A and B are shown apart, each in its own frame.
Chain A
Amino acid sequence: MFHRVPVLACSAALSLSPVQVHADVFSLWGAGATGVAEAGARSAIASDGTAVHHNPAGLAFGQGEDAEVGMLLTTSRLRAANRPVDLDQRMGIVGSTSFSPTLLYSLSLRIGFLFHTPSGAMLRVRTREAHAPQFPYYDNRSQRLVAVPGLGLRPVRWLGLGASLDALAGLTGTARLRPGPRGASEPAVNQQVYPSLRPSFGFRFDPYPRWHLAAMYRGAFAVNLETRTEATVAGVPLEAQVRQAHALYDPASLVLGAAWTPTRRLSVELDVGYHRWSRYQGPLLQARAELPGVRAEPSARLPSFRDTTSARLGGSTRVLGGAHQLRVRGGFGVESSMLGNERQGQTNLVDGARLVVAGGLSYEQPEALLGGMLVATLGVQLHHLPERSWAKVACQAAPCPADTTVGPEASAPSEGITDPGYPTLRGGGQVLAGVVSLGGRW
């Protein structure tokens, strides 16, 4: 039969549900150099273009126009199973702007726009094999083009409402590879790319001139790739499925923030967040395949994921005034781990409670850039994951439980194990991001 592999008819019916990308670099680090420098704690105070991410309601509290563009650099020293785990996208361009459309002045409405263009590619989707040591919190979260418009409306002096819209594309279509009149394979493709939109909402409430409160909801976001294949080989119908439900995943998040600005020189903000990682279906590509007489199923069982909570404290103070102003920024945060202590079998997923330390400087010079204020900002943020370990257990006899690791021989499953996380999976390290930006306010 294998000699008759020339396919009489083979069709791949592809059903890819809409790509709903919210996973972006801003969810990891905050938006703009100021967001990075203040540990992302800006939901109640951001009113420039970066408010599109932190809280679009803040746009309504902005004045004039602003724009900035900067370079984002990231590097990691993550290790798992005694080997370094590299992350994607080490460089990208970030930028933001906000303004009030002339026609809409009377509505107290402002528009913002935020973008990130990773170097090298608009988007990179990378899923690792099940046994590969990996950090799902960081994988596939920063390597896509982001272009998010936002809108802020201020119906009354003390209240702002806002929304932003993140968009990418979903895919659906068919692919066939079938022999033509000459017997040679002829690919045929008909694929549709659909837009997919994911809104976020926020509001900001200023009960007193120096107190600012905020709430922000960001929807969950994932790329769902599901491929169903229908093939007829030598008259025999065959089926197969490949699926990754949650590539580029970002959880639904609720952030509550409170900021205090006792003077124009000082601001302090505390943001607490709840991130629904328990809905995450994992980073693995699920491949089900069938050969004559053999059915291959993915055997890796993923550990369950937990919701996380975070607290981030950020602030800034102006240390120099006058024609050359200097503002010092800083922040600190903690976030619980998406992974519990559940024992893993074939997988080697690593995550831990992270400590966030951030800092930065802003230099401001009035009337130095096209009549407006020149703003140059440097922001640095460090995520530290203390080393964490999970014991792994070898299967002693078949049938092997899903939370055990196995060797190649069914008669002696505890022998010849090549699992890189066996007998103890350890992982931790640091991830560092820095942004330097240049912009202006008019």
Chain B
Amino acid sequence: MRRHLLRWVGVLVALTPPTQAAAPDLLGGSPRSAALAQADGASREPASAALVSPTAAASDGTSAVVAYGVGLPRFWLRGVRLELPSIRGITFGVQAGAQLGETRIGIAAGGYLPDRGLASVTFRPASEPVFPRYEASTAKSTLDLVAAIGGRLRGAVGVSLGAGTEGPGVNVTLAQDSRGVRSDGALDLSVTYRFAPVLALAFRPDDAFTAALRLRGARSFHTDLNATTGVTFRDNPLSGMTQVRLQGDAAYDPLLIDLGISERFQLPRAWRTTLFFGLRHEHWSAAPSPVATATFDLHLVLRPFERQETFVPPPLRNTLSPRVALEITSPSGVLALRAGYGYQPSPLTAPQGYLTPLLPAYHEGTGGVGWVIHGLPVTLRLDLALGLQVAPERRARKENLTLPWASYTLEGVLPHGMVGLAAE
């Protein structure tokens, strides 16, 4: 009986649709942002407004950016190299704005399309280590839409689009009639809308200083589906009704609050520099379990042995990540050099419990260059960014040594790069 349930669980899982993405959260929403270690929450660049600084959408004209990024996670667990997929995909952004008197308005869209497909939805078995940051989360498409308005004080609202799956699911009947044993099935599955809010504020008292705040709600791909199997064989102990419910939140991105400040200075010989400082709050304490739960409701003539368990995730703490960056622009504005540093603490407290989520702390150093190409109908800028995230070795030991992965060491690096073209 149960193997039939498993089939329908498989069907339900297979019908799971695309989810949202976290690759821009991990590596940056544009090449410029990646080169600045994502310290550019107070950026004035409109093309990447939807993913980096939503209030920048309220800028005159139109702009766009498209970039290709690669990240190569290399992690060792208990000294053994982990097989983590590379992070590859296209980041894009478009913006259009206008000036209405003293006020500017604008809209922007931005997103990420991974190479491997629109999305990857991964639930690992509860007894195996889980990498919430580096698996499904980095292989999801995203689309953020924002609208902004203002002058010196600007505000923006928007949504980050996502999806979920729900519905009665699969209903299968195995029965007998005059023709013998037959099977029949019905399916009712909905891919529902899910939205995470995007809110932003910025203050630009002059041409040099910007302070900005961005909030983006938590995102996940929520699955809640049933598979019902009815067997009406005469004189068969498997006759009856069984139901499997599969629930879980895949590819979770925590709520983000980005605080950014930037100040532009004049350097000797007409070079300019902009200093960026950012603080990112990630609200991991609200994270759901990283594994899926299957519950069974069996109404059979013969009740097979079945053991169910709900796997409680370990408590996570919120994190505050400081970032700092510098951009130096040549007198002609043709060349820009960028560098940045950030530190991302681990949301894990002391390891405990059955599950083993791996969320290492890491340091990040980045650098990049931007080259403006004039003489075309539009102004183009070629951007290159390189970065390295280094997760120092972490030794963990659970109190109960009989639990899976009761002790382990974890360390790794994530080199990444992004190249892109921005147009205004």
Q: Which residues of A are interface residues toward B (Cβ below 8 A)?
A: 2-7, 10, 12, 14, 16, 103, 120-132, 169, 171-173, 175-195, 225, 227, 229, 231, 233, 238, 240, 242, 244, 247, 284-289, 291, 294-300, 395, 398-400, 406-410, 412-413
Residue of B nearest to A401 (CB): B179
Residues of B within 8 A of A291 (CB): 1, 4, 174, 231, 233, 236, 238
Residues of A within 8 A of B8 (CB): 242
- Which residues of A lie under 8 Å from residue B334 when comparing CB positions? none
- Check if B186 sits within 8 Å of A124, measured CB to CB: no
Q: A14-B10, A296-B183, A298-B183 are in contact. Are A5 and B18 (CB under 8 A)?
A: no
**Interchain CB contact (< 8 A) of B123 among A179, A187, A400:** A187
Interface size bracket, B side: 35 or more
Cβ-defined contact, B121 with A191, below 8 A = yes
Is the CB–CB distance between A129 and B173 below 8 Å?
yes
| Sample of 24 A–B contacts (CB below 8 Å) | A2-B237, A3-B304, A5-B306, A123-B190, A127-B187, A171-B16, A175-B9, A177-B6, A178-B125, A185-B294, A187-B123, A187-B125, A189-B121, A189-B122, A227-B7, A229-B3, A242-B170, A285-B185, A285-B187, A286-B185, A287-B184, A289-B172, A299-B182, A413-B178
In the complex, A20→B180 CA distance in Å? 35
**With A and B bound together, what is the CA distance between A127 and B185 in angstroms?**
8
* Min CB–CB distance A7 → chain B (angstroms): 6
- 7 closest A-B pairs by CB: A12-B10, A413-B178, A5-B304, A184-B309, A285-B185, A406-B178, A296-B183
Q: Is B189 an interface residue (CB 8 A)?
A: yes
B188 near A126 with CB under 8 A, answer yes
CB closest residue in chain B, given A289: B183
Contact of B15 among A125, A176, A297 (CB under 8 A): A125
Q: CB within 8 Å of A: which of B1-28?
A: 1-4, 6-11, 13-19
Contacts of A193 in B (CB 8 A): 16-19, 117-121
* Pick from B15, B121, B127: contact of A180, CB under 8 Å: B127
Q: Could you tell me the distance in whole angstroms from the C-beta of B346 to the nearest C-beta in chain A?
A: 25
Q: Is B201 an interface residue (CB 8 A)?
A: no
CB-based A-B contact count at 8 angstroms: 270
Nearest CB of A to B118, in Å: 4
B182 touching A175, Cβ below 8 Å: no
Kindly state whether residue B292 has any CB partner on chain A within 8 Å. Answer: yes
Cα A225 to Cα B259 with chains together (Å) = 45
Known: A297-B182, A395-B178. A195 touches B118 (CB 8 A): yes
CB of A188 within 8 A of CB of B124, answer yes
Q: Is B391's CB within 8 Å of the partner chain A?
A: no
In the complex, what residues of A have CB within 8 A of residue B190's CB? 120-121, 123-125
For window 165-182 of B, CB contacts with A under 8 Å fall at 167, 170-174, 176-182
Minimum CB–CB distance from B99 to chain A (whole Å) comes to: 15
Asked if B117 and A192 make an inter-chain contact with CB atoms under 8 angstroms apart, the answer reads yes
The winner among B116, B188, B190, B311 for most chain A CB atoms within 10 A is B190
Give bound CA distance, A185 to B2, whole Å. Answer: 11
Shortest A17–chain B CB gap in Å is: 11
Q: In the docked arrangement, what's the CA distance between A27 and B182, Å?
A: 35
With beta carbons under 8 angstroms apart, the residue of A2, A122, A129, A191 that contacts B185 is A129
Question: Cβ of B309 and Cβ of A7 under 8 Å apart?
Answer: no
Shortest distance from the beta carbon of B7 to any chain A beta carbon, whole Å: 5
Contacts of B119 in A (CB 8 A): 169, 192-193
Which residues 318-360 of B have a CB within 8 angstroms of A? 354
**B contact set with A: CB distance below 8 Å:** 1-4, 6-11, 13-19, 116-128, 163, 167, 170-174, 176-193, 231, 233, 236-238, 246, 248, 250, 291-294, 296, 302, 304-309, 311, 354, 377-378, 404
Q: Inside 8 A of A179's CB, which chain B residues have their CB?
A: 307
- B377 & A185 in contact (Cβ 8 Å cutoff): no
In the bound complex, residues from chain B placing their C-beta under 8 Å from that of A124 are 167, 188-191
Chain B residue with Cβ nearest A122? B191
Complex Cα gap A179–B10 (Å): 16
Q: Are B17 and A169 in contact (CB under 8 A)?
A: yes
Q: Which of B121, B179, B248, B309 makes the CB contact (< 8 A) with A406? A: B179
CB of B224, distance to nearest CB on chain A (Å): 13
Cα A291 to Cα B232 in complex, Å, equals 13
Interface centre among B176, B177, B304 (most CB of A within 10 A): B177
Closest to A12 in B: B10
Q: Looking at the complex, which one of A6, A130, A233 makes contact with B305 (CB distance below 8 Å)? A: A6
- The answer to whether B127 touches A181 (Cβ under 8 A) is yes
In the assembled complex, which residues on chain B have CB atoms less than 8 Å from the CB atom of A406?
177-179
Closest partner residue, chain A, to B116 (CB atom)? A192
Residues A407 and B174 in contact, CB atoms below 8 Å apart? no
**Min CB distance, B15 to chain A, in Å?**
7
Q: Which one, A131, A191, A400, A407, contacts B120 given CB within 8 A?
A: A191
In the complex, A16→B11 CA distance in Å?
A: 10
**Shortest Cβ distance from residue A182 to the other chain B in the assembled complex, whole angstroms:** 6
Residue numbers in B under 8 Å from A12 (CB-CB): 6-7, 9-10, 13-14
Q: How far, in whole Å, are A291 and B309 apart by their CA atoms in the complex?
A: 26
